[in-house]
Amino acid sequence: MQIHNFSDKSSILNTFVSEIRSVTIQKDRMRFRRNIERIGELLSYEMSKILSNETINIQTPLGNSDLNVPKDDVVICSILRAGLPFHNGILNYFDKAENAFISAYRQHLNSKDFEIIVEYIASPNLENKTLILADPMLATGQSLALTYEALKSHGIPKQIHILSAIGAEAGIEYIKDKFPENTHLWIAAIDKDLNDKGYIVPGLGDAGDLAFGEKLKN
Protein backbone atom coordinates (compact mmCIF):
# COMPACT_ATOMS: atom_id res chain seq x y z
CA MET A 1 0.00 0.00 0.00
CA GLN A 2 1.27 3.44 -0.94
CA ILE A 3 0.55 6.03 1.76
CA HIS A 4 0.25 9.73 0.92
CA ASN A 5 0.31 11.49 4.30
CA PHE A 6 -0.40 15.20 3.94
CA SER A 7 0.14 16.06 7.60
CA ASP A 8 3.84 16.06 6.65
CA LYS A 9 3.22 18.95 4.25
CA SER A 10 2.33 22.60 4.81
CA SER A 11 -0.90 23.58 3.06
CA ILE A 12 -4.40 24.98 3.58
CA LEU A 13 -5.49 21.38 4.20
CA ASN A 14 -4.08 21.66 7.74
CA THR A 15 -6.41 24.58 8.45
CA PHE A 16 -9.46 22.44 7.77
CA VAL A 17 -8.03 19.56 9.83
CA SER A 18 -7.40 21.93 12.75
CA GLU A 19 -11.01 23.15 12.60
CA ILE A 20 -12.61 19.68 12.57
CA ARG A 21 -10.46 18.81 15.60
CA SER A 22 -11.26 21.98 17.58
CA VAL A 23 -13.83 21.42 20.35
CA THR A 24 -14.97 25.00 19.85
CA ILE A 25 -15.28 25.19 16.07
CA GLN A 26 -16.66 21.67 15.61
CA LYS A 27 -19.78 22.63 17.57
CA ASP A 28 -20.95 24.37 14.41
CA ARG A 29 -22.31 21.33 12.53
CA MET A 30 -22.61 23.11 9.21
CA ARG A 31 -18.98 24.26 9.36
CA PHE A 32 -17.90 20.78 10.46
CA ARG A 33 -19.63 19.20 7.47
CA ARG A 34 -18.18 21.79 5.10
CA ASN A 35 -14.66 21.27 6.44
CA ILE A 36 -14.97 17.50 5.99
CA GLU A 37 -16.19 18.22 2.46
CA ARG A 38 -13.22 20.54 1.82
CA ILE A 39 -10.77 17.87 2.95
CA GLY A 40 -12.42 15.45 0.53
CA GLU A 41 -12.02 18.00 -2.25
CA LEU A 42 -8.32 18.63 -1.61
CA LEU A 43 -7.46 14.95 -1.28
CA SER A 44 -9.34 14.32 -4.54
CA TYR A 45 -7.26 16.98 -6.28
CA GLU A 46 -4.02 15.38 -5.07
CA MET A 47 -5.21 11.91 -6.08
CA SER A 48 -6.20 13.10 -9.55
CA LYS A 49 -2.55 13.77 -10.36
CA ILE A 50 -1.76 10.05 -10.70
CA LEU A 51 -4.86 8.89 -12.59
CA SER A 52 -4.71 7.83 -16.22
CA ASN A 53 -5.14 10.73 -18.66
CA GLU A 54 -6.21 11.31 -22.20
CA THR A 55 -5.79 14.33 -24.47
CA ILE A 56 -8.95 16.07 -25.62
CA ASN A 57 -9.35 18.96 -28.01
CA ILE A 58 -11.57 21.83 -26.90
CA GLN A 59 -13.08 24.40 -29.24
CA THR A 60 -12.89 27.88 -27.72
CA PRO A 61 -14.45 31.06 -29.15
CA LEU A 62 -11.03 31.92 -30.60
CA GLY A 63 -9.51 28.59 -31.55
CA ASN A 64 -8.65 25.11 -30.26
CA SER A 65 -6.90 23.90 -27.12
CA ASP A 66 -5.50 20.45 -26.27
CA LEU A 67 -5.85 19.42 -22.62
CA ASN A 68 -4.93 16.33 -20.58
CA VAL A 69 -7.87 15.15 -18.46
CA PRO A 70 -8.46 12.05 -16.30
CA LYS A 71 -10.05 9.20 -18.25
CA ASP A 72 -10.65 6.59 -15.51
CA ASP A 73 -14.15 5.29 -14.85
CA VAL A 74 -14.50 6.26 -11.18
CA VAL A 75 -16.81 4.83 -8.52
CA ILE A 76 -16.98 6.57 -5.13
CA CYS A 77 -18.06 4.38 -2.22
CA SER A 78 -18.90 5.83 1.19
CA ILE A 79 -19.55 4.19 4.53
CA LEU A 80 -22.71 5.68 6.02
CA ARG A 81 -23.31 8.01 7.79
CA ALA A 82 -20.17 9.98 8.63
CA GLY A 83 -18.93 9.49 5.08
CA LEU A 84 -21.69 11.57 3.46
CA PRO A 85 -20.11 15.07 3.55
CA PHE A 86 -16.74 13.53 2.69
CA HIS A 87 -18.39 11.76 -0.26
CA ASN A 88 -19.87 15.07 -1.44
CA GLY A 89 -16.43 16.68 -1.41
CA ILE A 90 -15.00 13.93 -3.62
CA LEU A 91 -18.05 14.05 -5.89
CA ASN A 92 -17.58 17.81 -6.31
CA TYR A 93 -14.34 17.04 -8.16
CA PHE A 94 -15.28 13.74 -9.79
CA ASP A 95 -18.76 14.88 -10.74
CA LYS A 96 -19.21 12.21 -13.44
CA ALA A 97 -18.40 9.34 -11.09
CA GLU A 98 -20.76 6.51 -10.26
CA ASN A 99 -21.59 6.06 -6.59
CA ALA A 100 -21.87 3.25 -4.06
CA PHE A 101 -23.00 3.26 -0.43
CA ILE A 102 -22.55 0.80 2.42
CA SER A 103 -24.07 0.77 5.88
CA ALA A 104 -21.42 -0.39 8.36
CA TYR A 105 -21.71 0.27 12.06
CA ARG A 106 -20.27 -0.82 15.39
CA GLN A 107 -22.37 -3.21 17.47
CA HIS A 108 -20.96 -3.00 20.98
CA LEU A 109 -20.71 -6.32 22.79
CA ASN A 110 -19.63 -4.67 26.06
CA SER A 111 -17.96 -1.44 27.19
CA LYS A 112 -14.78 -2.21 25.22
CA ASP A 113 -15.47 -4.81 22.53
CA PHE A 114 -17.48 -4.38 19.34
CA GLU A 115 -18.03 -5.97 15.96
CA ILE A 116 -18.69 -4.30 12.62
CA ILE A 117 -22.09 -5.05 11.06
CA VAL A 118 -22.67 -4.51 7.33
CA GLU A 119 -26.40 -4.39 6.56
CA TYR A 120 -26.87 -2.49 3.29
CA ILE A 121 -24.97 -2.14 0.04
CA ALA A 122 -25.84 -0.33 -3.18
CA SER A 123 -23.15 -0.40 -5.86
CA PRO A 124 -22.72 -0.32 -9.63
CA ASN A 125 -20.49 -2.78 -11.46
CA LEU A 126 -16.89 -2.24 -10.29
CA GLU A 127 -15.13 -4.42 -12.85
CA ASN A 128 -11.96 -2.74 -14.14
CA LYS A 129 -12.95 0.65 -12.69
CA THR A 130 -11.16 2.99 -10.29
CA LEU A 131 -12.69 2.60 -6.84
CA ILE A 132 -12.47 5.42 -4.30
CA LEU A 133 -13.29 4.32 -0.75
CA ALA A 134 -14.29 7.36 1.30
CA ASP A 135 -13.94 6.90 5.06
CA PRO A 136 -13.21 10.14 6.96
CA MET A 137 -12.11 8.34 10.15
CA LEU A 138 -9.81 5.35 9.65
CA ALA A 139 -9.80 4.04 13.21
CA THR A 140 -9.44 0.25 13.59
CA GLY A 141 -9.64 -0.33 9.83
CA GLN A 142 -12.24 -3.08 10.27
CA SER A 143 -15.03 -1.16 8.51
CA LEU A 144 -12.85 -0.52 5.46
CA ALA A 145 -11.74 -4.15 5.24
CA LEU A 146 -15.30 -5.45 5.50
CA THR A 147 -16.51 -2.88 2.97
CA TYR A 148 -13.95 -4.07 0.46
CA GLU A 149 -14.93 -7.70 1.02
CA ALA A 150 -18.61 -6.83 0.52
CA LEU A 151 -17.85 -4.97 -2.72
CA LYS A 152 -15.96 -7.86 -4.31
CA SER A 153 -19.25 -9.43 -5.42
CA HIS A 154 -19.78 -6.37 -7.63
CA GLY A 155 -16.56 -6.82 -9.62
CA ILE A 156 -12.83 -6.35 -9.20
CA PRO A 157 -11.62 -2.75 -9.69
CA LYS A 158 -8.39 -2.11 -11.56
CA GLN A 159 -7.23 0.33 -8.88
CA ILE A 160 -8.27 1.30 -5.34
CA HIS A 161 -7.81 4.65 -3.64
CA ILE A 162 -8.71 5.11 0.05
CA LEU A 163 -9.37 8.68 1.16
CA SER A 164 -9.46 9.57 4.86
CA ALA A 165 -9.36 12.76 6.90
CA ILE A 166 -7.76 11.27 10.01
CA GLY A 167 -6.41 7.79 10.65
CA ALA A 168 -4.76 5.83 13.43
CA GLU A 169 -1.45 4.08 12.91
CA ALA A 170 -2.96 0.78 14.10
CA GLY A 171 -5.84 1.00 11.63
CA ILE A 172 -3.51 1.74 8.73
CA GLU A 173 -1.31 -1.19 9.70
CA TYR A 174 -4.42 -3.43 9.90
CA ILE A 175 -5.60 -2.70 6.35
CA LYS A 176 -2.21 -3.03 4.66
CA ASP A 177 -2.66 -6.75 3.96
CA LYS A 178 -6.43 -6.51 3.42
CA PHE A 179 -6.11 -4.63 0.12
CA PRO A 180 -4.11 -5.20 -3.08
CA GLU A 181 -0.49 -4.10 -2.93
CA ASN A 182 -0.99 -1.23 -5.41
CA THR A 183 -3.74 0.40 -3.28
CA HIS A 184 -3.20 4.10 -2.47
CA LEU A 185 -4.14 5.73 0.84
CA TRP A 186 -4.61 9.52 0.74
CA ILE A 187 -4.88 10.89 4.26
CA ALA A 188 -4.83 14.37 5.78
CA ALA A 189 -3.49 13.37 9.23
CA ILE A 190 -2.24 10.27 11.04
CA ASP A 191 -2.56 9.91 14.84
CA LYS A 192 -0.64 7.45 16.98
CA ASP A 193 -3.25 5.96 19.28
CA LEU A 194 -6.65 4.30 19.66
CA ASN A 195 -8.42 4.32 23.02
CA ASP A 196 -10.00 1.24 24.59
CA LYS A 197 -13.25 1.94 22.69
CA GLY A 198 -11.52 2.04 19.32
CA TYR A 199 -11.63 5.82 18.83
CA ILE A 200 -8.68 7.73 17.39
CA VAL A 201 -6.64 9.77 19.90
CA PRO A 202 -6.39 12.74 19.71
CA GLY A 203 -8.73 12.40 16.72
CA LEU A 204 -11.83 14.55 16.86
CA GLY A 205 -14.59 12.50 18.50
CA ASP A 206 -17.51 10.86 16.67
CA ALA A 207 -17.58 12.31 13.13
CA GLY A 208 -21.14 11.11 12.48
CA ASP A 209 -22.48 12.75 15.61
CA LEU A 210 -20.60 15.98 14.92
CA ALA A 211 -21.93 16.13 11.37
CA PHE A 212 -25.55 15.07 11.94
CA GLY A 213 -26.31 15.04 15.68
CA GLU A 214 -26.08 12.41 18.35
CA LYS A 215 -27.73 9.04 17.72
CA LEU A 216 -29.60 6.86 20.19
CA LYS A 217 -27.28 4.29 21.73
CA ASN A 218 -28.08 0.62 21.22
CA dist 92 to 39, 107, 207, Å?
11, 32, 20
- pLDDT given for residue 107 in this prediction: 59
Torsion sign (Cα): 176, 180, 184, 187: negative
Cβ-based neighbour number of residue 11 at 10 Å: 12
Find residue 179's DSSP bridge partners: none
Q: What is the CATH code for 2-52+71-212?
A: 3.40.50.2020
Contacts of 123 (CB under 8 A, 6+ apart): 75, 77, 100, 101, 102, 151, 154
What pTM was computed for the model? 0.90
Question: pLDDT tens per residue, the chain (218 residues)?
Answer: 999 999 989 999 999 999 999 999 999 999 999 999 999 999 999 999 999 999 999 999 999 999 999 999 999 999 888 889 999 999 999 999 999 999 876 655 565 555 666 778 899 999 999 999 999 999 999 889 989 998 999 999 999 999 999 999 999 999 999 999 999 999 999 999 999 888 999 999 999 999 999 877 65
| Length of the chain, in residues | 218
Q: By CB neighbour count within 10 A (0-12 exposed, 13-18 middle, 19+ buried), where does 140 fall?
A: buried
- pLDDT given for residue 181 in this prediction: 93
Asked if 165 and 136 count as a contact pair (C-beta separation under 8 A), the reply is: yes
How do the domains of the chain map onto residue ranges? 2-52+71-212
Cβ-based neighbour number of residue 196 at 10 Å: 8
Helical (H) or strand (E) element with 59: strand 53-60
Asked if 69 and 52 count as a contact pair (C-beta separation under 8 A), the reply is: no
Asked if 203 and 166 count as a contact pair (C-beta separation under 8 A), the reply is: yes
- pLDDT given for residue 128 in this prediction: 96
Asked if 106 and 83 count as a contact pair (C-beta separation under 8 A), the reply is: no
Residue type, 150: A
Q: How far apart are CA 13 and CA 46, in angstroms?
A: 11
- pLDDT given for residue 11 in this prediction: 94
- pLDDT given for residue 52 in this prediction: 92
Q: How far apart are CA 21 and CA 210, in angstroms?
A: 11
Q: Compute φ and ψ for 122, nearest 5 degrees.
A: -135, 115
Q: How far apart are CA 173 and CA 126, in angstroms?
A: 25
